[in-house]
Structure 1
Amino acid sequence: MTVDRPLAFTSAGLRLAGTLTAPAGPGPHPVALLLPGSGPLDRDGNHRRLPLAVSRDLAAALAAVGIASYRYDRRGVGASQGRFLRTGFHDAVDDAAAARDALAAAPGLAPERIFLVGHSEGALTAAALAARGADVAGLVLLAATARPGDEALRWQAARLLPTLPRPVRLLLRLTRTDLVAKVARNHDRIRATRSDVTWIGGQRLNARWFREFLDHDPRRDLARLHVPVLAVTGEKDLQADPDDLAVIAATVAGPVETHRLPDITHVLRRQPGAPTLRAYRGEVRQPVDPAVTAMVTDWLVRQART
């Protein structure tokens, strides 16, 4: 039996709200701070256009093995204060640090057994927070990149190109549009901005976040990690190169375990056949794949016992 209770904390003068899921009983329980991917995601890991529910599914899996977890609404989302479009990458790390401190002070939790579990951007947030010297017992990096942000986004563009609908690919050929070069030009335009928010290609973007993300090299953070690390990426990930697992293994200073899961995509579900973003809407009707949750829970149980 588990108990859900609201838990809020303050970061940069803003009240951020979340849910603490804990096993029944007095504890103290080990706890995982769940850090979501990019975008205006709520505490369950849902975007209004795509209900990923990654954090919700991880929380349920962790509760089943007796590990508490905490997940929260990002700035300007759900019950949290702030404005998401004006939130930088480093602000997200500050928020995670404040959340970790709130867990360390919460009754019924073991402050010496706080783990960071991050998905996509959340994995970068976890590594950056631990590299700052935050007192954590270990990290789980799901679908993490291990290259500068601008390079990761160019890789995504090249990887996504063959998966685009045939009419779109035909239009790109007819207009002689180099998608990767176009992405790089947009990066230059974003870097030239000074405001928090800007318009690029008819789309309103969080320019501050992009400027910080484009120049962020996670390898610097990985090299400062001395706590145990588990890194898991799907073979069919279109947004994080599975080959980056080798970089993570070679760069992390402490004990590291990496796994490349067949047929698993960036949203941590199983996708048969050739990977495509269009399949995400169908995939998210199912929970996070059991192969992923089992790997995360098994590793955390082992670490919590040490």
Structure 2
Amino acid sequence: MSTERELVFTSGPFRLAGTLTVPDGGGPHPGVLLLPGSGPLDRDGNHRRLPLGISRDLATALATAGIAALRYDRRGVGASSGRFLRTGFHDNVDDAAAALAALTAAGEVDPERLFLVGHSEGALTATALAARGGPVAGLVLLAGTGRPGTEALRWQAARLLPSLPAPVRLLLRLTRTDLVAKVARNHEKILATTGDVARVGGRRVNARWFREFLSYDPRPDLARIHAPVLALTGDKDLQVDPADLAVIAANAGGPVETLRLPDVTHVLRRQPGTPSLRAYRTEVRQPVDPSVTDSVMHWLTARSR
């Protein structure tokens, strides 16, 4: 069992709002800051088009292990102020630092036992934040890349191609469109912009975030981190190369444990057979797979005693 309370904090001029889940029983408890993937996600990890619920499921699971967890709405989402499209990658790291300070100050939490748990972009956010120094006892990197954003997104484009619907693949062949090259050209267009927001392919994108993400290489920051790391990726991930687990392990400055979970996808659910993005909508009707939550809980529990 657990209780939840609203936790509001500031990051520069912005007011950010989240939920602190606290286990029953006497505290102070070990604490986890949950950092979500990319996109305008609310505190539960939901996008208006796809209710992923990753942060919510992790917070619930952690409470059963006696671990408190803070999750929050990103800028311009839910009860948080700001504008999502004008928020950069490094702004997200600043917001995470403010959230960690709020978690540290929470009376229910032991400031000597604070951990970062990030999914996808959140894994990079956790890496960049921990590299700044501060009270972090360990990191859990879920579906995190170990290479610069440009390399990661080009790998993603190549990996996604076989999973696209047959009519789309046929159209690409008929028009002689090289999907990876097209993605690279779009990246070049974004890197040439200077504003916070740009129009690419007929739609508005958060250009500053893309410029910073494409240029960010996590390896130097990993080398600055001496706290223990758990890096976990599913072998059905279409958006992050599972081989990056070895890159993370090779570059981290402290002890690293890596897990490559069978049949687990980027959204941390189980998907038998050939992986497909189209299956996400069905997958998210189920909670985060127990192989993920159990691995995270066991690792954190062992290091928070």
TM-score grouping bracket, smaller chain normalisation? over 0.9
Please tell me the residue identity of whatever aligns with 1:213.
F
Please tell me the residue identity of whatever aligns with 2:171.
L
Separation in 2, partners of 1:147, 1:25: 41
Separation in 1, partners of 2:113, 2:289: 26
Separation in 1, partners of 2:59, 2:127: 20
Separation in 1, partners of 2:285, 2:98: 32
1:245 alignment counterpart: 245
Contact kept? 1:38, 1:121, Cα under 8 Å: yes
| Cα displacement string for residues 237-277 of structure 1 (whole angstroms, at most 9, x for unaligned residues) | 00010000011111111011000000000000000110010
1:141-160 to 2 correspondence within 5 Å? 141-160=141-160
1:70 alignment counterpart: 70
Secondary structure at the aligned position of 1:162 is classed as helix
Separation in 2, partners of 1:86, 1:268: 28
Separation in 2, partners of 1:148, 1:134: 24
Deviates more, 1:50-59 or 1:18-27: 18-27
1:51 and 2:37 are equivalent in the alignment: no
1:127 alignment counterpart: 127
Deviation at 1:24, TM superposition (A): 2.2
Secondary structure at the aligned position of 1:220 is classed as helix
1:201 alignment counterpart: 201
Secondary structure at the aligned position of 1:230 is classed as strand
Please tell me the residue identity of whatever aligns with 1:5.
R
1:216 and 2:216 are equivalent in the alignment: yes
Paired positions, count: 305
1:236 alignment counterpart: 236
Please tell me the residue identity of whatever aligns with 2:209.
W
Deviates more, 1:209-218 or 1:25-34: 25-34
2:177 alignment counterpart: 177
Please tell me the residue identity of whatever aligns with 1:52.
L
2:225 alignment counterpart: 225
| Cα displacement string for residues 90-121 of structure 1 (whole angstroms, at most 9, x for unaligned residues) | 00000000011111111121001110000000
Separation in 2, partners of 1:228, 1:220: 16
Separation in 2, partners of 1:30, 1:65: 10
The gaps in structure 2 that reach 5 residues or longer are none
Separation in 2, partners of 1:102, 1:130: 16
1:101-140 to 2 correspondence within 5 Å? 101-140=101-140
Separation in 1, partners of 2:298, 2:56: 18
Contact kept? 1:97, 1:134, Cα under 8 Å: no
1:282 and 2:293 are equivalent in the alignment: no
2:267 alignment counterpart: 267
- Alpha-carbon RMSD across the aligned residues, in angstroms, is 0.6
Secondary structure at the aligned position of 1:223 is classed as helix
Separation in 2, partners of 1:218, 1:275: 27
Secondary structure at the aligned position of 2:16 is classed as strand
Separation in 2, partners of 1:2, 1:271: 30
Secondary structure at the aligned position of 2:140 is classed as strand
Secondary structure at the aligned position of 1:101 is classed as helix
Separation in 2, partners of 1:79, 1:104: 21
State the TM-score, normalized to the length of structure 2: 0.99
Deviation at 1:25, TM superposition (A): 3.4
Deviation at 1:134, TM superposition (A): 2.3
Separation in 1, partners of 2:134, 2:148: 22
| Cα displacement string for residues 164-195 of structure 1 (whole angstroms, at most 9, x for unaligned residues) | 01110010011000000000000110011111
Separation in 2, partners of 1:108, 1:170: 56
Deviates more, 1:71-80 or 1:97-106: 97-106
Deviation at 1:26, TM superposition (A): 4.0
